[in-house]
Amino acid sequence: MAVKVPPVDLERINNYVVFGKVLIQNWDGDSQAASARLSIFDGFVILDRSDFRLESIQYISLSLQGTIDMEKLKNNELIVDLRCSTYNGIAKNASLIVIGVPGNIINTQISPP
C-alpha cells in the first residue's frame, strides 16, 4: 500500500507525521516470521519497522508510526508505503494516514529499563 503525498509549501509545512495500521495473518500450519514497515524512497528509508513471529493460523493487528523532515527531502517526490511480508499469509485492512505539520517535531522513543 502506498500514498503519494502532494507537494507542500515549505513556508507552512515542515514535517509530516505518518501512521500505518495493518492486520497480518499466518495461513500456514507452522509458525513463521513476519514483518511490516513504513518507508519512503521505494523502501530505502525506513520510518518504522516491526519483526515478529506468528504462530499457526494466528493473526496480529499492528500499528506503525514515523516522522518525515521535508527540508531533508530537497523537494523530492514523496511516496510513503506500508510493506508487509510473511511466508504463507496475508495482509489486509491496511490504512495509512499522513498529516502535514508546521514547525518542528520532537520524536522520542522510550525503552523499558
Residue 110 resides in a domain: no
User: Coil, helix or strand for 11?
Assistant: coil
More confident residue, 79 or 19: 19
Domain count for the chain, please give it.
Answer: 1
Residue 86 lies in a domain: yes
Residues 23-78 have pLDDT tens digits of 999 998 899 999 999 998 888 889 999 999 999 989 999 999 998 887 777 666 78
The whole-number pLDDT of residue 108 equals 59
For residue 108, being part of any structural domain is answered with no
Q: What one-character DSSP code corresponds to residue 105?
A: -
Domain carrying residue 49? 2-101
Q: Is residue 106 part of a domain?
A: no
In a domain, 112, yes or no: no
Cβ neighbours around 66 below 10 Å, total: 21
| pLDDT above 80: residue 102 | no
Q: Is 109 inside a domain boundary?
A: no
Looking at residue 12, which CATH number applies to its domain? 2.60.120.40
Contacts 24+ apart (CB under 8 A), 46-53: 47/18, 47/80, 48/20
pTM, two decimals, is 0.81
Tell me whether residue 64 is in a domain.
yes
